[in-house]
C-alpha cells in the first residue's frame, strides 16, 4: 500500500467512474486533502459528501474542462484552499461518437476542448504552481487504448487521446528537472456509469448489455475502475520513484495483436 498522507490531489472528472475510484483509493492510502472537479454538479456534490464521510477534507469544484479558464482555475482554487497541490489526475473526458465520414467540426472541437486542451492547461497551471512553490509533484493523464488506432466510430476521441499521449511525454521531458513527473494510462474498455450511458445512447444497448459483453471477453469481465485506480495511485506516489513519461497499456486486449 502506498503512503498518500502528504498528497494533496486534484482529480478532474472525479464525480463518478474512474475519477471517483481514484479518489477513493488515494483516501484509503492516507490522502486527507483532495479536490474533485466535474461539470456534473449534483453528482460531484454527492461524491464529495460521500468522501468526506471518512473525515477527509474534500473540495468539490464545479468546472467544465472544455473551458480553458475553468480547467486552469481548478488548480488555483484547490491551492488556495489546501495551500498547495502535489498531484493531478486528468480523468475528465468527452466520448461522443463520430467517424472520419460523419464527425462535424463542432463535435470535433468539443472533444478536443475537453480531452486535450483542458487537460493541457490544467497540467500547465499545476506545473507552474509546483515550480513556483518549489515542491515535487506528480500527474497522471487518463488515456485510452484507442491511441493505437481506435474504432471507426471513435475517430475524434482517438485523435484527442493520441494528442494527450504526446502531451504526456512532452511535459514529462520538460518538467523532469523540476521533479514533476507525468505519466499516462491507456485504459481499455471499462465498466463505468458513463460507459453504460454511452452504450444505451449510441449503440442501442439494453439492460443486459454488460453481462453479454463480459461473457465474450478473454478474462470474463470489462476493466473495472478499481483496477486502474491502483496503478494511478502508484504513479502518484513516491513508490514509483523516478518513473516519468510512461504510457501503460491497461487492458486484456493486446495492441498490434491479431486473431490466431
- Is 202 assigned a catalytic role? no
Closest to 142 in 3D by CA, of 121, 110, 124, 119: 119
- Report whether 162 contacts 198 (CB < 8 A): no
Q: Using CA atoms, how far apart are residues 52 and 34, in angstroms rounded to an integer?
A: 10
Query: Per the residue annotation, which of 112, 126, 157, 250 is the catalytic one?
Result: 157
- Report whether 132 contacts 181 (CB < 8 A): no
User: Which residues have a Cβ under 8 Å from the Cβ of 31 and sit 6 or more positions away?
Assistant: 4, 5, 7, 8, 9, 56
Using only C-alpha atoms, what is the Rg of the chain? 18
Q: Using CA atoms, how far apart are residues 114 and 160, in angstroms rounded to an integer?
A: 9
Burial of 134 (0-12, 13-18, 19+ CB in 10 A): exposed
Q: Using CA atoms, how far apart are residues 117 and 55, in angstroms rounded to an integer?
A: 34
**Residue numbers annotated as active site:** 157
Amino acid at each position: 500500500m502506498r503512503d498518500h498522507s502528504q498528497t494533496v490531489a486534484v482529480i478532474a472528472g472525479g464525480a463518478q467512474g474512474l475519477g471517483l475510484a481514484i479518489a477513493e483509493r488515494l483516501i484509503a492510502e492516507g490522502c486527507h486533502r483532495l479536490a474533485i472537479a466535474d461539470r456534473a454538479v449534483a453528482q460531484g456534490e454527492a461524491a464529495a459528501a460521500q468522501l468526506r464521510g471518512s473525515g477527509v477534507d474534500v473540495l468539490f469544484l464545479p468546472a467544465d474542462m472544455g473551458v480553458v479558464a475553468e480547467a486552469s482555475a481548478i488548480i488555483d482554487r484547490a491551492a488556495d484552499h489546501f495551500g498547495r497541490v502535489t498531484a493531478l489526475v486528468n480523468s475528465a473526458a468527452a466520448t461522443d461518437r463520430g467517424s472520419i465520414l460523419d464527425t462535424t467540426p463542432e463535435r470535433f472541437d468539443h472533444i478536443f476542448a475537453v480531452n486535450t486542451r483542458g487537460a493541457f492547461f490544467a497540467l500547465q497551471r499545476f506545473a507552474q504552481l509546483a515550480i513556483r512553490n518549489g515542491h515535487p509533484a506528480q500527474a497522471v493523464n487518463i488515456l485510452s487504448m484507442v491511441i493505437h488506432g481506435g474504432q471507426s466510430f471513435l475517430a475524434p476521441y482517438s485523435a484527442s487521446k493520441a494528442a494527450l499521449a504526446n502531451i504526456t511525454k512532452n511535459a514529462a521531458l520538460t518538467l523532469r528537472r523540476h521533479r514533476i513527473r507525468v505519466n499516462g494510462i491507456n485504459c481499455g474498455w471499462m465498466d463505468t456509469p458513463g460507459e453504460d450511458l454511452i452504450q444505451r445512447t449510441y449503440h442501442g444497448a439494453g439492460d443486459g448489455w454488460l453481462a453479454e459483453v463480459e461473457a465474450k471477453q478473454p478474462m470474463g469481465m470489462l476493466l473495472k475502475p478499481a483496477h486502474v485506480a491502483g496503478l494511478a495511485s502508484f504513479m502518484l506516489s513516491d513508490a514509483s520513484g523516478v518513473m516519468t513519461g510512461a504510457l501503460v497499456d491497461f487492458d486484456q486486449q493486446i495492441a498490434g495483436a491479431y486473431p490466431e
